[in-house]
Structure 1
Amino acid sequence: MRQAFKTVWLRDWQPSDRDQAFQVIAAVLAEYGLTCEPTGSDQDAYAVEVHYLERGGEFWVVEQQGQIVGTAGYYPIERGERAVEIRKMYLLPSVRGQGLGRYLLNLLEQAIAQRGFKQIWIETASVLKEAVVLYETSGYQPISGVETARCDRAYIKHLPTS
């Protein structure tokens, strides 16, 4: 996948992106006072091959002028029916406020629907106010069952069946 949006490119993650992508995730978590857990809930962002690609998911990076400024991915999960979880959708402050988050979420939803999945799950933390608003205004419904310690909100979206 390679897609342009204003001044950035969205593209498939490559192994050479590993450190820079992980640094973006850690920086955004720190910005909101959340702890990065490299051997816990954030290990998937470093071992992308195992957690995303080998499980039938995808992991993308957002690039601007040769630097990674955002990440997003999804992979199939056991809970729900033909379900995936969107994870690690983070953007640095320099690229926020331009509609990129909504654009990225829409691209993820399209890719997920094209692969025949029926449900999208997302977990987030209330402190990530922009993310909460994005999900709630994009048709995601609150649901119980948060599995990640630093998260206190979970959402589900049912995709239309064709």
Structure 2
Amino acid sequence: MSLSEARVLYEIGNTDNCTARTLIDLLGIDAGYLSRILKRFEKLALTYRVQSQKDGRSSLLYLTALGEETLSKLNDLSDDQIRNMVIQLPERSKDSMIRGMTAIERALSDISAEQSIQIRSVLKPGDVGMLIHLHGWIYARECGYNHIFEAYVCKTFYDMLIAYNPDKDRFWLAELDGEIIGSIAIIGQNIESVQLRWFMLHPNFRGMGLGKKLFQEVMNYCTEKGYQRIMLETTEDQKTAIGMYERAGFRKISEHENHSWGSRHIEQTYELHLNEKN
């Protein structure tokens, strides 16, 4: 059986109210070629026709018991072929293939990226490495920062991990197909104060409200926990984030120039007193 024949047989077995016109539209197949396939199927007792009650000019196509058995065998052979191709692959290759196929399926369906993004707060081994990579890549691309900045980011995460305490420190990680695409965190300073840190979003996922959602998660959490003060450090080129901070009530309390990351920039410190905000 040719690939085209197998596909026609599959569609007849899996398409409701299947007609020859349905197959032509669905598969883009030539009408004459399809007619020859259907005649062969009927000769082999794989399919049969029933005149449509809605349109007497067309017939509905169905599989016979032999046709269903044949399709089942074809599916089993296809599964075995794929299994033999995949089974010898390293686990990392299998994981990459699954992520790629998931992305393709989402792109060709009605499932949007927004619907597939998950936000989690449990910090797992390897997460910080991904976050360091994202920081280095994004800030080099958008701000011109160099390896010294990446070293600074490594140092901040090192200091955090040494003293990490999930009772006072919390992450929100946006994840799609097993890859981290955004983050935000708070690090406890004392019983009243926290620092907001590592707020970033992959460029491909901006403009869909994900950054606002991550930021709101932090604000809601700090309010629920009864923190009185939130402090954060940023640079003047982070206009979108700064606008979000200021709308939430953060005030700039200091700034200074920094030339050590490969480009001149101004570091800024903001803080929010929640009791004043409320």
- Is TM more than 0.5 here? yes
* Matched ranges for 1:77-88 at <5 A: 77=189, 82-88=192-198
Given that 2:135 and 2:153 are in contact with CA atoms closer than 8 Å, whether structure 1 keeps it comes out as: no
Name stretches of at least 5 consecutive residues in structure 1 with no aligned partner. none
Mapping of 1:1-162 within 5 angstroms? 6-12=115-121, 13-31=123-141, 32-35=143-146, 37-45=149-157, 48-53=160-165, 56-77=168-189, 82-144=192-254, 152-160=267-275
- 1:8 Cα offset (Å): 1.4
The percentage of aligned residue pairs carrying the same residue is 24
Would you tell me which structure has more helix in proportion to its own residues?
A: 2
CA 1:72–1:115: 2 relative to 1, 3 Å? same
Q: For 2:207, what is the secondary structure of its paired residue?
A: coil
Distance 1:106 1:134, change over 3 A: same
More strand by share: 1
Partners of 2:273 and 2:172 lie apart in 1 by: 22
State the 1:51 CA deviation: 4.7
Larger Rg over CA atoms: 2
Q: What is the Cα deviation at residue 93 of structure 1?
A: 0.3
Flag the 1:51–1:132 CA change in 2: closer, same or farther, 3 A: farther
After TM superposition, the score normalised by the length of structure 1 is 0.79
Q: What is the count of residue pairs matched by the alignment?
A: 155
**1:91 counterpart letter in structure 2:** L
> Which aligned runs of 4 or more in structure 1 are off by greater than 4 angstroms?
148-151
Normalised to the residue count of structure 2, the TM-score between the two structures is 0.49
Q: CA RMSD in A?
A: 2.8
Higher relative contact order (CA 8 A, sep 6+): 1
Q: Give the aligned residue type for 1:56.
A: K
Question: Do 1:72 and 1:88's aligned partners in 2 also have CA atoms closer than 8 Å?
Answer: yes
CA distance in 1, matches of 2:133, 2:274: 32
Does the Cα contact within 8 Å between 1:21 and 1:61 map onto a contact in 2? no
Structure-2 separation of matches of 1:52 and 1:86:
15
Gaps of at least 5 residues in structure 2 are: 1-113
**Residues 54-97 of structure 1 deviation map (CA, whole Å, 9 limit, x = unaligned):** 6821123210121111121111236xx82111000011101111
